[in-house]
Amino acid sequence: MGLTTIQQLPAGGVEVPAPPRVRAVLKDTTGAEKGAVAFTQEGNRVRVQVVATGLSEGWHGFHVHTKGDCTVGDPANPFTAAGGHLGSGPPTMQSHGVGPGGDHDGDMPLLYANDSGTARATFRTDNFNIPALTDADGSAVIVHALADNYANIPAARYDTKPVLGGAVPDVATMATGDSGARQRCGLVEPGTFSFGAGYWFVASDGGVFSFGDAKFHGSTGAMKLNRPIVGMAATPSRNGYWLAASDGGIFAFGDARFFGSTGSLTLNRPVVGMAGPPGDVTAVLKDATDKALGSVSFTQEPGTVRVEVLAKGLSPGWHGFHVHTKGDCTVGDATNPFTAAGGHLGSGAPANQSHSGHDGDMPLLYANLDGVARASFRTDNFTAAQLLDADGSAVIVHAAADNYGNIPADRYDTKPVPGGAVPDAATLATGDSGARQRCGLVRRSSDGYWLVANDGGIFAFGDSKFFGSTGALRLNNPINGMASTPSGEGYWLVASDGGIFAFGDAAFKGSTGNLKLNSPIVGMAPTPTGDGYWLVASDGGIFAFGDAAFKGSTGDIKLNQPIVGMAPTPTGDGYWLIAADGGVFSFGDAVFSGSTGAIRLNQPIRGGAAHTT
């Protein structure tokens, strides 16, 4: 699985307090390790990272339970010693899946296991904090056999048999979400895991150095170059990269495709950097007023699609999240918006699938009290190419929890068909997820790249769009780099004085243009949300804007060589700084995977890129 126990690493000699972290090793009833969960406190939220293996393909309830006890007990009904969901007992006596925020403290988004039996996900929750997981009784993480329905049993259609006419979920549903048998248990304990990470460096001769999970795909180190290499960008799949020379010559390795260069042009100013696409397919989430409130990216990987989503302005709690059949986000009736997007992908001919077996079904989103939902996961329900068929597709975020069609036949009757004891047509179509609150038109991301010159001139290749430049402006200081937005619909340019120029959907969040700096700015990196960015100076000083969090710097350290660039972790909760000798300084949740700091290099390092798994 690539899971390695790690310890907090010194951040280049700077004492940066480690965030509270705990972990759980998931085991089956035989005691075999079947994955891991890592919990990291981030302010008032906890980041949850999980890999679970050996599961049946499909949906699995996923919760924190009240007791740190993974005793198997009865193999036919294992792991009962872990108790109920966190928050289900005194003093709170919460119920499952109802009310703002959950309502069990231990409720988490369910997991989707691909046909390989593996589920991978990252999300954030403010339902609990690290101290709640490590109280006197401890806690355990449980993966269940079935989909969690989050107690979403619509009163208009279902009666509860034990209380005739009650039209409310019964005690079992309110306790468990009808998630079935407990298949995996993990005891929460101090520590953390590395879930796979790495990075590349590129030297001015195009020599490439790969560390951690980053694979070497080739270099120009043995070639005689017309001009030095000044930057690199990874492909969305992280199975390749581009190198850019100061004359705009492009060298493509791995699955990186060559889309053109400025190598044959006479440039006014040298190229100083490049940016690549954020994903293969993207969608900007908008509400019924056409306000942009998040984004989704889909990246095709071997046998699976990596989905990364940010949604803002939601009510706290659970929200259904699906790919719909038509690329049409027309609002239509404001009281029932976005119906033009059709049903879930796979719900129509020829597949005629039912929920929760729709191709477009995805794990639901959890919005914290600030109305923000952030998650990443993998699915093999569809391919990136399938999202771009003749009708296109759209991503919808709903108002209510998805119940994944899990209406237990032994307890609930369907009113329209008395005694039918099966979900009705509406449940099998939508999972009773309620109104459509966000819609994002799925479109191909920029299948190409941008180059930037030190006068801010922009060169766009492939289907990357030109959004503007500073090529016609008189700049106080030269441009040193650029970064693309998560949607691929914009970019930032940064000057050596930290002046920021925002184009397309890039938002200006601040700059150091009016400050007297100790050292020039040499690079920038955006947060995963696109609502902030970091600037890094050659002495390793860090300047954080928007939702970018300061995690540490080398500004007070005497460096052997200057910092030449930075790369953020995929969570946005850490970053690596890269020096000209290939020295690496890790901050936040960035994991040190190696460096060339002790190697005598032929040419200095000019930049790098992060690899994530």
Write out 127-146 in H/E/C secondary structure.
Answer: CCCHHHHCCCCCCEEEEECC
Does the pLDDT of residue 358 top 70, yes or no? yes
Confidence of residue 17 (pLDDT cuts 50, 70, 90): low
Q: Which amino acid is at 321?
A: F
Percent of the chain with pLDDT over 90: 67
* Across 355-381, average pLDDT: 93
Q: Cβ atoms within 10 A of the Cβ of 600, count?
A: 6
For the chain, what is the mean pLDDT?
A: 89
> Which of 4-13, 255-264, 443-452 has the least mean pLDDT?
4-13
- Report the pLDDT value the prediction gives residue 413, as an integer from 0 to 100: 63
Angle made by CA atoms 608, 225, 536, in degrees to the nearest 5: 25
Query: Which residue, among 339, 387, 385, has the nearest Cα to 362 in the 3D structure?
Result: 387
* Across 185-196, average pLDDT: 84
Q: Give the integer Cα–Cα distance in Å for 358 and 439.
A: 18
- Determine whether 563 is exposed, middle or buried from the number of CB atoms within 10 Å of its CB (0-12, 13-18, 19+): buried
pLDDT digits (tens, 9 = 90+) for 55-103: 999 999 999 999 999 999 999 999 999 999 999 887 878 888 765 445 7
* Across 253-264, average pLDDT: 94
Strands laid side by side in the 563-568 sheet: 563-568, 574-579, 584-588
Query: Which residue, among 254, 235, 255, 231, has the nearest Cα to 243 in the 3D structure?
Result: 231
pLDDT digits (tens, 9 = 90+) for 126-153: 999 999 999 999 999 999 999 999 999 8
Percent of the chain with pLDDT over 70: 91
- Report the pLDDT value the prediction gives residue 612, as an integer from 0 to 100: 67
Does the pLDDT of residue 10 top 50, yes or no? no
Q: Which residues of 97-120 are buried (b: 16+ CB within 10 A; e: fewer)?
A: bbeebbbbbbbbbbbbbbeeebbb
- Report the pLDDT value the prediction gives residue 3, as an integer from 0 to 100: 36
> Which of 91-100, 101-110, 311-320, 466-475 has the least mean pLDDT?
91-100
Contacts of 389 (CB under 8 A, 6+ apart): none
Q: Give the integer Cα–Cα distance in Å for 482 and 490.
A: 11
pLDDT digits (tens, 9 = 90+) for 261-291: 998 899 999 999 999 987 778 898 999 999 9
Q: Give the integer Cα–Cα distance in Å for 506 and 498.
A: 16
Q: Give the integer Cα–Cα distance in Å for 342 and 429.
A: 11
Does the pLDDT of residue 449 top 60, yes or no? yes
Q: Residue 539: left (phi > 0), alpha (psi -120 to 50), or beta?
A: alpha
- Give me the DSSP letters along 77-131: STTGGG-SBTTSSTTT---TT-STT-SSTTB-PPEEE-TTS-EEEEEEE-S--HH
For the chain, the first-to-last Cα distance in angstroms comes to: 11
Does the pLDDT of residue 166 top 90, yes or no? no
Does the pLDDT of residue 322 top 50, yes or no? yes
SS3 192: coil
Q: Give the integer Cα–Cα distance in Å for 468 and 480.
A: 16
Q: Which amino acid is at 92?
A: T
* Across 439-457, average pLDDT: 91
The two most distant CA atoms of the chain are separated, in Å, by: 82
**What does the radius of gyration of the chain's CA atoms come to, in whole angstroms?**
25
Q: Which amino acid is at 134?
A: T
Q: Residue 281: left (phi > 0), alpha (psi -120 to 50), or beta?
A: beta
Contacts of 171 (CB under 8 A, 6+ apart): none
Does the pLDDT of residue 476 top 90, yes or no? yes
pLDDT digits (tens, 9 = 90+) for 392-414: 999 999 999 999 999 887 777 65
Q: Are 48 and 126 in contact (CB under 8 A)?
A: no
Angle made by CA atoms 44, 46, 48, in degrees to the nearest 5: 165
Contacts of 287 (CB under 8 A, 6+ apart): 293, 313, 437, 438
Q: Are 400 and 152 in contact (CB under 8 A)?
A: yes
Q: Give the integer Cα–Cα distance in Å for 434 and 569.
A: 35
Angle made by CA atoms 356, 358, 359, in degrees to the nearest 5: 135
Q: Give the integer Cα–Cα distance in Å for 243 and 251.
A: 5
Provide the token pair at 323: 């790919």
Does the pLDDT of residue 297 top 90, yes or no? no
The DSSP code for 11 is B
Q: Give the integer Cα–Cα distance in Å for 486 and 531.
A: 10
